[in-house]
């Protein structure tokens, strides 16, 4: 008689992965300050951790990875820090063009991009063109993004169509509304991870997180290694997602 072996509960089950993981990349500045470094050094380390996490998720089979890179409120930070963040983004985009070709990555940007520099917008345009040719893992970067602003944008879009006679108010359904969000055609996150010790979602994906499992950890984002991410995924796999049922 064939023996049946149960999976070790400490092992990651690659057949039971979340389809979509979202991360609020928090703690870069504090990571640097703890080491007596400039905050910019923390953002550099955080950028490197993002790229490593994306490669790890792609390797194990995660289909969608969304990160909160820069919120609409982050403009309140010192200009030097903001400029440094966007310089890192430019560097990432230059390097990601080759990665997108070799790794079949679809790179999307969610948010109000109107405040970005012409140089950044040009680079984003190039990655958009490359993404049309790819069908692999989707990496969504929320940039100058706010959840409330996204919902208002979708509501105004629907209202405009009603005003122009294209639709009536009765046509508004969840599906119709979702089609007007930045995340249209993307399943909602199964898992949200927030490092850095804060236990709030900070205006991130307010519509999309309705039934998302959440993990908050004191580990700062640059220190959230692949091994630690694996432990979080294992924890997720032992949760019972009931979606309001029993």
Q: What is the pTM of this model?
A: 0.92
Share of the chain above pLDDT 70, in %: 95
Write b or e for each residue in 93-118: b if 16 or more Cβ atoms lie within 10 A of its Cβ, otherwise e.
beebeebbeebebbbbbbbeeeebee
| pLDDT surpassing 80 at residue 244 | no
Catalytic residue among 15, 48, 73, 74: 74
Catalytic residue among 8, 15, 16, 26: 26
Q: Give me the chain's average pLDDT, please.
A: 93
pLDDT tens digits for 133-156?
Answer: 999 999 999 999 999 999 999 999
Number of helices and strands in the chain (H, E): 7, 6
| pLDDT surpassing 80 at residue 243 | no
* Token duo for residue 48: 């490197």
Residue 5 is predicted with a pLDDT of: 38
Write b or e for each residue in 169-186: b if 16 or more Cβ atoms lie within 10 A of its Cβ, otherwise e.
eeeeeeeebbebbbbeeb
Contact 237, 16 (CB under 8 A): yes
- Name the residue ranges covered by the structural domains of the chain: 20-146+188-237
Catalytic residue list contains 83: no
pLDDT tens digits for 162-179?
Answer: 999 999 999 999 999 999
CA distance linking residue 102 with residue 157, whole number of Å? 37
Catalytic residue list contains 26: yes
Contact 109, 124 (CB under 8 A): yes
Residue 6 is predicted with a pLDDT of: 43
pLDDT tens digits for 90-134?
Answer: 988 888 888 888 899 999 999 999 999 999 999 999 999 999 999
pLDDT confidence band for 2 (50 / 70 / 90): very low
What is the chain's alpha carbon radius of gyration, rounded to the nearest angstrom? 19
Contact 115, 147 (CB under 8 A): no
| pLDDT surpassing 70 at residue 230 | yes
Read off the pLDDT of each residue in 217-223 and give the average, rounded to a whole number.
Answer: 98
Q: Is 20-146+188-237 assigned to CATH 3.40.1180.10?
A: yes
Residue 246 is predicted with a pLDDT of: 63
Residue 3 is predicted with a pLDDT of: 38
Q: Which residue has the tokens 């119709």?
A: 176
């Amino acid at each position: 008689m064939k023996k049946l072996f149960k999976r070790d509960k400490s092992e990651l089950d690659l057949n039971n992965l979340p389809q979509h993981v979202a991360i609020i990349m928090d703690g870069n500045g504090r990571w640097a300050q703890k080491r007596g470094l400039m905050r910019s050094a923390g953002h550099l380390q955080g950028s490197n951790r993002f790229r490593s996490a994306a490669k790890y998720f792609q390797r194990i089979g995660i289909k969608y990875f969304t990160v909160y890179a820069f919120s609409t409120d982050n403009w309140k930070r010192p200009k030097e820090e903001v400029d440094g963040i966007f310089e890192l983004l430019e560097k990432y985009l230059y390097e990601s063009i080759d990665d997108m070709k070799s790794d079949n990555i679809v790179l999307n940007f969610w948010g109000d991009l109107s405040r970005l520099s012409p140089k950044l917008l040009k680079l984003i345009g190039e990655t958009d063109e490359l993404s049309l040719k790819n069908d692999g893992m989707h990496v969504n970067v929320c940039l100058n993004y706010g959840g409330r602003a996204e919902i208002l944008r979708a509501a105004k879009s629907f209202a405009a169509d009603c005003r122009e006679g294209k639709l009536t108010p009765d046509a508004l359904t969840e599906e119709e509304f979702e089609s007007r969000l930045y995340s249209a055609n993307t399943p909602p996150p199964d898992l949200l991870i927030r490092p850095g010790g804060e236990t709030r979602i900070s205006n991130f994906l307010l519509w999309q997180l309705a039934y998302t499992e959440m993990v908050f950890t004191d580990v700062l984002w640059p220190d959230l290694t692949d091994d630690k991410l694996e432990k979080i995924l294992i924890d997720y796999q032992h949760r019972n997602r009931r979606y309001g049922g029993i």
